[in-house]
Amino acid sequence: MNTVFKKSDPGREGVWPQKADKTAAEMLPQGLLRGKPAGLPSLSELDVVRHFTQLSRRNFGVDGNFYPLGSCTMKYNPKFTENVAALPGFTRLHPVLPQLKGAGRLCQGALEVMYETEQMLCEICGMSAFTLHPMAGAHGELTGVMIMAAYHKDKGNKKTKIICPDSAHGTNPASAAIAGYEVVNLPSKDGIVDPDELAKVLDDQVAGMMMTCPNTLGLFEKNLPKIVEMLRSVDALLYYDGANLNAIMGKMRVGDAGFDVVHLNLHKTFATPHGGGGPGAGPVGVSEKLVPYLPVSRVEKLEDGQFFLNYDFPKSIGYVAPFYGNFGVVLKAYAYILRLGGAGLTRATEAAVLAANYLRKRLDGVLEVPFDRICMHEFVATACKQTTCGVRALDIAKMLLDKGYHAPTIYFPLIVKEALMFEPTETESLDTLDQFADDLIALLEQSAADPEFAHNAPTTLPVTRLDETRAARSMELTDDL
């Protein structure tokens, strides 16, 4: 399909504002103006509408396709939250308004949304305070590690290292490194963190440890109480990567369990749409002792019920966002939590875990599951058995695309060879799970008999497999003029 630039026809009128009386050249010195036009396309409104409608048809999304992409929590995104985020009372609100003295009165509704969301996230996670500022999960991680660093600096602790289990999301070590820490990799045992292995790397230099629980294998970290105790003994902090909070909501609170810092992915657990890779939101919660280090500003409630932004926190790590985070995303999560309530959130967790275990059992014996026991909201299988006849995890993923399913996450976590990570989520019906299992089993049988069938997949989509080496070598990142 041609790019939108190739469809341009100079002279076509788009959505133009009225023409100014003067040109830029009449209003500004020549030396400040650009020498030649930028090269944006000229298109009619229908040209644009048709182009993007056709592009959209070349995409899978949750609304049209089952999307069991492990670790990404592709649950259904309720439509009413879009109406909430589109209310002009929110979309038209300028972010600097609360900075005009006394003008907090002009945005009480928005401040209340932020305050109430923080309160509810505190209750869901058992933390003392939350900030909504981080704009994505990885941004939450960075913010969380910066808070940990500020704590140690304030206490005069000389800490240089952060421990990350080998099952961790790659963002954990990357965030720790960007925050200035040396990363210590911790090998898992039987799929989970082993206290004996931890003891080997734990010393006074350790600032903290980043954990995902359940971890990226979908397994609960049952040695958690022991791990908490060990870290406490060297004044190291425990970080909870909230990517998998949807497996424990209502069943366990990370604060109660001993975690000091947590980031959440609102776009996962609280059902805001992923939008093709963003925007998300990554609020960070902390235990009592870390509250002074939270980013500024913080929203507070006065005795008269008015809300205001407080910037006066001398120990704060400062600003991690231009304003108060991805407010539009926070709104949707807030509406979702109100809709479900405490019991609804707990049932969402239960149904997610139920669905994952059901799918795991349905695929039992067809795909090998390396840690084959009760899982939480997702599980990791391996295509090792299939590789003996030349069918790899990648091939299985591509065959599924042909059947109209998005593929599971493949080749992650790194500690399982030929990994296929399934997360069905709570919003998929039993019929969908059954049909998916039946289709996957049939595909595996067909490809065992005819590996070429697998290697050629997909054949029904707008393109077949793409040459990624060529893309990386040629680095063609833009359309030619």
Partner 1 sequence: MPYVPHTPDDIRRMLGVIGAPSVEALFAEIGPDMRPKSFDLPEGKSEMAVLAQLEDLARKNAVNHVSFLGAGFYDHHIPSAVDALSMRSEFYTAYTPYQPEASQGTLQAIFEYQTAVTRLTGLPYANASVYDGGTALFEAAMMSVRHTDRRKLVVCEAVSPIYRVMLGSYTANLNLELVTIAHKDGNCDLAALTAALDDQTAAVLVQNPNFFGTLNDFSALFAAAKAKGVVSVISVYPVLQSVLKSPGEMGADVAVAEGQSLGLPLSFGGPYLGIMTCTKEMIRQMPGRMVGRTVDTQGRTGYVLTLQAREQHIRRQKATSNICSNQALCALRSLMHLCLLGEEGLKRTAEICIERAHYAAERLTAIPGVKLLSASPFGNEFAVSLPVNAYQAIDKLTNRGFVPGFPLGRYYPGLENALLVACTEKTSKEQIGVLAELLRGMLA
Partner 2 sequence: MIPNDLKYAKSHEWAKIEGDTATVGITHFAQEQLGDLTYVDLPKVGASVTQGAEMGSVESVKAASELYSPVTGTVTEVNAALENAPEAINQEPYAAGWMIKVKLAAAPEGLLDAAAYAQVCAEEAH
Residues 220-239 that bind partner 1 (CB under 8 A): 220, 222, 224-225
Binding to partner 1, residues 373-392 (CB under 8 A): 374, 376
Binding of partner 1 by 439 (CB under 8 A): no
- Choosing among partner 2, partner 1, none, which partner's interface includes residue 442 (Cβ < 5 to 8 Å by kind)? none
When binding is defined by CB under 8 A, the residue of 201, 234, 321, 448 that contacts partner 1 is 321
**Restricting to residues 112-171, which ones interact with partner 1 according to CB under 8 A?**
112-113, 120, 123-124, 126, 135-139, 141-142, 146, 149, 169-171
Query: Of 196-204, 238-246, 440-448, 466-474, which part binds partner 1 (CB under 8 A)?
Result: 466-474
> Judged by CB under 8 A, which of 195, 226, 235, 253 binds partner 1?
253
Beta-carbon-side half-sphere exposure of residue 436 (alpha carbons within 13 Å): 30
Q: Which is nearer to partner 2, 411 or 453 (CB)?
A: 411
Q: Which two three-digit tokens encode residue 66?
A: 């089952």
Kindly tell me which of 350 and 368 has the beta carbon lying closer to partner 1. 350
Structure tokens at 1: 């399909």
What whole-number distance in Å separates Cα of residue 253 and Cα of residue 345?
A: 13
Q: Which of 128, 157, 183, 382 binds partner 1 (CB under 8 A)?
A: 183
In terms of CB distance, is 388 or 443 closer to partner 1?
443
- Using CB under 8 A as the binding rule, the residues of this chain from 394 to 413 that contact partner 2 are 411
Dmax over CA atoms of the chain, in Å, equals: 76
Asked if 472 is part of the footprint of partner 2 (rule: CB under 8 A), the reply reads: yes
Report the C-alpha gap between 246 and 342 in whole angstroms. 13
Give the rounded distance of the alpha carbon of 334 from its chain centre. 17
423: nearest Cα among 431, 433, 414, 415: 433
- State the number of binding residues for partner 1 (CB under 8 A): 205
Residue 202, CA atoms < 13 Å, CB-side half-sphere: 22
Tell me the CA distances in angstroms from 277 to 76, 79, 267, 329, one per residue in order.
16, 19, 10, 13
- Minimum CB separation of residue 173 from partner 2 in Å reads 14
Q: Does 100 bind partner 1 (CB under 8 A)?
A: yes
Q: Label the pairing between strands 182-186 and 188-189.
A: unpaired
Can you tell me the distance from the alpha carbon of 87 to that of 467, in angstroms, rounded to the nearest whole number? 44
Interface ranges with partner 2 (CB under 8 A)? 411, 468-469, 472-473
